[in-house]
Amino acid sequence: MAALRRVVTGPAAWTAGLLAGLALLTGCVESDGTPPGGYAAPQTVAPAAPPPAATGRERPHTVLVLGDSLSAAYNMAPEQGWVALLDARLATEGLPYRMVNASVSGETTAGGAARIDDALAQHRPALVVIGLGANDGLRGLPLSDTRRHLLRMVEAARRAEARVLIVGMRLPPNYGPEYTADFFALFGEIADEQEVAHLPFLLEPIALDDGAFQPDRLHPTAEAQPRIAQHVWPALRPLLSGP
C-alpha cells in the first residue's frame, strides 16, 4: 500500500474554560456510553446551496465520517458543521466526492466498531474519516479497548478498499500525565502501524479560543466550524483523487 501523507501540527494547551467543559462530557453520557435520550440518527450531509458550477455535477465517491458530537454539528444546523462545509468545498472545487456524516453524539470507539460494517455496506466509501475516541478518554476507559476498537474500524475500512484518515484528540491534564500522553499518542501509533493518514488534533485551531466554544465550554460554535474545516482540509485533500 502506498504511504499516505501524515499531517502534523504543533501541540496546543487547553484553556481553563475548555478544560472544565471537557471534564463535563463524562456527565453527558449514560453508563453504557449512550447520551441522554438516545443517539441522534446518522445523517447524509449535502451542501445547502451548491454554487452554480457544481449544480448537477456527479459526485459518485463517498467520504464517510464516523465521529461523535464534535463532528455531528451539535446544537446547530447540520449544514453549519465542519463536515457539511467540507462537502460544499468538494462541490465547489469540482471533486467527485460527497461527504456522508454518520457521526453520533456520545459515540465511543466501541459504538463505531459495532456499526462500521453496516455503514460501509450502505455507503461504500472511498475514504473513511475516523473521529472517535474522545468519549473513551473522558470516561477513562482502558486504552487497550480504545486501541482494539480503532484497529477494528481501520481494518474494516481497508477490507472494503477504503482509504482511512484517523483524527485524534487531546484530554485535559486532570486525567493524569501518563493517561493523557498515552491517549494522545495512541492515534498516531495506530496510524503509523497501519500506514494510514493521521490528523493529530481536531480542535487544534480553536483550542485556545474560549469564544469558539458554546456555553457548555465543550462543543465548538457554528462560527468556529469554518476554522475546523480549514484545519481538516490539508489532511483530507491528498487522499482524494481528482484535479
SS3 101: strand
CB 65 within 8 A of CB 90: no
Give, for 63, the enclosing helix (H) or strand (E).
strand 61-67
- The torsion angles phi and psi of 73, rounded to 5 degrees, stand at 55, 50
Buried b (16+ CB within 10 A) or exposed e, 17-54: ebbebbbebeebbeeebbbeeeebebbebbbeebeeeb
What the block records as the C-alpha cell of 153 is: 474500524
Residue found under cell 493523557: 180
Q: Is 219 a catalytic residue?
A: yes
Residue 216 bears catalytic tag: yes
List 145, 182, 209, 216, catalytic entry: 216
Distance between CA 178 and CA 171 in Å, rounded? 11
Q: Which of 123, 149, 198, 219 is catalytic?
A: 219
Among 69, 71, 103, 105, the active-site one is 69
DSSP tag of 48: S
Q: Looking at the annotation, which residues are catalytic?
A: 69, 216, 219
